[in-house]
Chain A
């Protein structure tokens, strides 16, 4: 088990390394010099040079890459070109919106999808199954940001149960914060739940056809007992993969959803940075997102091993 975890960890580090090179290289291709962009065309050469030194732009590209990566390892993401404040502080503030939102949505989506998928699989071909499948078919087709707008229209503008946008902040209490993230989380979660429920159902149906399910019935288990005791855990193996993938969709999706609800998250930060050509911020936010995705997939790999003993004993 430890060996397996170490091996995965090793490939996690490699992936992160390569991803950082790719991101850095792409941003390097960007035309224009951030310093002259910030000071405008009429800047004095010496002011320009001073700014370049301040931003760490006066060294070679390789040196800059290692400065960037080395900085990130100790939590220093550099200085924003536009705001002249540490990027790490800007990101940290926003992360407290985006990350809880993605996790909230992931929890909701799993809580909805598991029962729905299991219910549908247990009633294969019956009206209950067809209803769930029809609903998920529709759920997959709905763009989450449009669904968000509809939620705002119904629950914020007409019913006034929620605010149409903005974030109340965690400092006013956990529940207040959670309340203002609820509509965005539902908007993110429902389309993902539709996908997850379908995966859960088809994975369970595959398992129901396995020989060991028949063995379980031959022991005297009822259909339902066999499904719960032998089906669900085996069906989780492919479902975990999808949950891992979904986290990256949710994180990306939350960037879009933040626009609908005017949430001060990473999405707002990155779009402001793009229009202000604040490339160091873009670079860092993208790296952070990729880091999150790779880490979640690492955790999914560990979860596999917890579910499947065959992986544990392999190297």
Chain B
């Protein structure tokens, strides 16, 4: 008997079709993962079960919880179900909690709103359940406010709120996407434990196939609002029928072949770099405190080398990136490119800047929306003493756009006319246009869907062959770094704790932190890829 059964669910919002004939079912104690890329309708499916759809949504079909129809049930009855029979966990723990209420109040609210028990008992239950999710009240009293907790801890509070009345069904919408790998592993373990312990059904929405394979009993693959394939995890992994499923798995574990690097010759030399940030003063007359974001970092990047830098959020990799780019001055130590310092005096050194470019993470925030592509990608010409003009300039723009897989005509368009993947191509064109000696990729593929990410990785491999790229690839995503770099550095708490040949580090990590990081990252088994 199934706990939740969705049958032929179709959904439109203001006449736009979002879901088409979606069917799936969950048994008690079962974990069902719905996966797919952005726009696949996976999150909307979850919201449909909660009946928390945006205004103007019209649905058709049936959603049965314990064989009772949920679809178009009166709002008052749905309120009684939500929180009590169905719990939900969201993606963004940083914003999912009310900032002005204590965590205790927020967990207790679930209990009190359903009048499940008197306040005193509710408080006891809240303490119990917070302890169960790993926030014991001796260290995390109920009077804490959300801003006093880390992202992982906040996600635990959200989970506590969702499970405190022991719902039959828990829905988790990308519950670990905003978290670091080690935290992600803990939260996934917690969810798995709760499912076993409470016998809940878990509907898990995630784009991350490695997480899916790690967690799910059943997999549902969606695209453009339709279920393209579903089945038991083991079976599906070995018998993928739909080409889209195959593509998705291939892209998630995409490997590229990098051309051999040139003769090693030092290009970027970072020596004993330290960057402190001032903390706000504790009191009016106290000396301001400091936090060390980058701590005695030294490394060398050779000409033609593809170097990776991995670490979790807050480890100092962004600060280090900014220091290398000359956006922030360091307190001590030395950063040199081709033997010249990045900062001369207290000013960025233009001679060095000319040889360096960067590609950022966010394909939507990386461009001035008011300029056309031609102007956007030629911005680095500002660094040249004699920028190209006239026909030469046009030729260079066209060459770059073609090199990144776009058309020369795209030069006259505005940025909003491009998709996320295309924008990242334009960002690469902008970085390449002055033929820098070094490019920094700062989480450059992290915001992209897996299929687009695979294409961009292919593009990078091609460009390495065509332009002899040297780059520093900064990322939290181990699987990407593994394929796109020759050498890798692991950063933790401002220090580089391990560096070496990429394959060597991944197969045989020596530092405990590297080991922890690699074992925490869920991995796709090497299967099913060649089945087509």
A-to-B contact residues, CB < 8 Å: 3, 6-7, 10, 210-212, 214-223, 225, 229-230, 233-234, 307-310, 313-315
Contacts and interface: CB of A to CB of B under 8 A. Distances in A.
A57 B110 CA distance: 71
B219 interface: no
B99 A215 contact: no
30 contacts: A3-B283, A3-B284, A211-B90, A211-B95, A212-B96, A214-B52, A214-B90, A215-B88, A215-B96, A215-B98, A216-B109, A217-B82, A218-B52, A218-B82, A218-B83, A218-B90, A219-B109, A219-B110, A220-B84, A220-B113, A221-B109, A221-B113, A222-B75, A230-B98, A230-B101, A234-B98, A309-B99, A309-B100, A313-B148, A314-B280
A147 B100 CA distance: 39
A295 B92 CA distance: 39
B161 interface: yes
A218 B98 contact: no
B11 to A, nearest CB: 17
A218 B282 CA distance: 39
B147 A313 contact: yes
A219 B170 CA distance: 12
A219 B283 contact: no
A309 B146 CA distance: 9
B373 to A, nearest CB: 32
A205 to B, nearest CB: 13
A88 B282 CA distance: 41
Contacts of A211: 90, 92, 95-96
Interface of B: 50, 52, 75-76, 79-84, 87-88, 90, 92, 95-101, 109-110, 113-114, 145, 147-148, 158, 161-162, 280-284
A220 B92 contact: no
A219 B113 contact: yes
Contacts of B98: 212, 215-216, 230, 234
Contacts of B281: 315
A7 B284 contact: yes
Given A215-B96, A218-B88, A315 B280 contact: yes
Task: Tell me if A's interface is mostly helix, strand, loop or mixed.
Answer: helix
A210 B95 contact: yes
B456 to A, nearest CB: 29
B81 A220 contact: yes
A308 B101 CA distance: 9
Given A211-B92, A214-B90, A220 B99 contact: no
B95 A220 contact: no
Nearest to A207: B98
A220 B110 contact: yes
A143 B82 CA distance: 49
Given A212-B95, A214-B90, A218-B82, 10 more contacts: A214-B52, A215-B88, A215-B97, A215-B98, A219-B83, A219-B113, A220-B81, A230-B98, A234-B100, A307-B100
B353 to A, nearest CB: 36
B129 to A, nearest CB: 13
Contacts of B97: 212, 215
A64 B110 CA distance: 65
Nearest to B102: A309
A306 to B, nearest CB: 10
Nearest to B94: A211
A310 B284 contact: no
Nearest to A315: B280
Contact of B79 (A6, A221, A233, A313): A221
B284 A10 contact: yes
Nearest to A219: B83
Contacts of A210: 95
A142 B503 CA distance: 73
B278 to A, nearest CB: 12
Instruction: Give the 4 A-B CB pairs with smallest separation, nearest first.
Output: A220-B83, A211-B95, A219-B83, A218-B88
Contacts of A310: 99, 145, 147
Contacts of A215: 88, 90, 96-98, 158, 161
Contacts of A218: 50, 52, 82-83, 87-88, 90, 162
A149 to B, nearest CB: 43
Nearest to A222: B79
Q: Give the most central of A7, A211, A221, A308: most B CB within 10 Å.
A: A211
A314 B279 CA distance: 11
A208 to B, nearest CB: 11
